[in-house]
Amino acid sequence: MTEQEFQDGTRCVRAGLPEPAPGDPFLPGPVLAAPYHLDPWQGPAGSPNGYGRPDNPTRRLLEAAIGELEGGDCRVFASGQAAITGVLLALLRPGDTVLLPADGYFPVRAFAADTLQTLGVRVRYAPTAGPYPSFEGVRLVLLESPANPGLDVADVPALAERAHAAGALLAVDNTTATPLGQRPLDLGADLVVASGTKALTGHSDLLLGYAASRQERLLDPVTAWRTTSGAVPGAFDAWLAHRSLATLDLRLARQSANAEALAGALADRADVAGLRWPGLPTDPAYPVAARLLHRMPGVLSFDLGDADRVARFIEAARLVAAATSFGGLHTTADRRAQWGDDTAPGFVRLSCGVEDTVDLVADVTAALDRVADVTAARDATC
């Protein structure tokens, strides 16, 4: 069997590992070095390692692993934000037009307003679910699918065809789906960007981002920008990330199962509004998600009406922690408005961990029941 014929779990366990050698570990430990010994005659030409900012063997192994999963060449960054801003700054010039998701990750839109527009880049927006404007005159179209935090899903192949017909590049933020849920390069995208801080590494213990492509003309300027800006992850973080990849398939399977069970439990509750999970047949994103996603994400969203009810819910729950980010082993709830995101005050992004499904569903529903009882008692005394 070739590597591509292996199933997801096998590919995750083996991704990026060096050839086995007696006495060596499966995954070599991190090479913690800034400078390396140079050949006194050849200088940096004598070794792939010359200085730690552009060169690190631990980082290269991680890049090989993520590249295998995404189906392209990969460059890892110090964070997801570093990766996406690096791609935008490396590929856009004054006078260019970029089209961004209107409902995507809020810091990217803030970066576009605060930085790209001041550099002379024209910034336009479109919702992930559409409608999309004409791509004529656009240099780069960025999608986020499923979108964070609203969870709409974009029709990547159709939008890639439209973008290329207009002479535009298409990039996809694959953070929520992960490369096991979706391979945008296979769907026609020119670039993939993602935060590895979240489900990809999944242990809530590091910051990481990456960009991947099959086109050297696109990846070379991104690599050069990373080198000159210094936006590289440390060797230990790269090693932790590579170690964590081995369990990606197992973690996603439980997280997705938990999200499905929770979505089903919450769907008919009168005290929960605006429930979104693209795996629900009633979800607006389901027709596209069912066609394009290999597996559904472990993230869902809903609205509890106001900030007080969200706080009471999290306080009442035993298995739900208040935290931002998503994709970790522990179930977390994030009231996005508290970060300045343009969401409703009671909007919650809930990231399912790997707790037993029956325990998590029972805990969440019991917490919501307690909040409903307190609310009813309070209303009765008013």
Domains and CATH numbers, the chain: 3-245 (3.40.640.10), 248-381 (3.90.1150.10)
Contact 180, 68 (CB under 8 A): no
Local structure of 133: helix, strand or coil: coil
CA distances from 36 to 44, 46, 47, 228, 240 (A): 10, 11, 9, 19, 22
CA dist., res. 70 & res. 269, Å (int): 38
CA dist., res. 303 & res. 90, Å (int): 38
The segments of the chain whose pLDDT lies below 50 read: 1-2
CA dist., res. 89 & res. 91, Å (int): 6
What is the pLDDT, as a whole number, of residue 283?
98
What is the pLDDT, as a whole number, of residue 382?
63
Contact 300, 350 (CB under 8 A): yes
Neighbours of 228 (CB within 10 A): 11
Burial class of residue 374, CB neighbours in 10 A (0-12, 13-18, 19+): middle
What is the pLDDT, as a whole number, of residue 160?
98
Q: Which helix (H) or strand (E) holds 321?
A: strand 321-322
Q: pLDDT (tens digit, 9 = 90+) per residue, 182-219? A: 999 999 999 999 999 999 999 999 999 999 999 999 99
What is the pLDDT, as a whole number, of residue 373?
80
190: closest CA among 154, 216, 166? 216
What is the pLDDT, as a whole number, of residue 1?
38
Residue 210 β-bridge partners: 76, 194
Residue 172, both tokens: 């996809």
Give the sign of the dihedral formed by CA 2, CA 25, CA 27, CA 296: positive
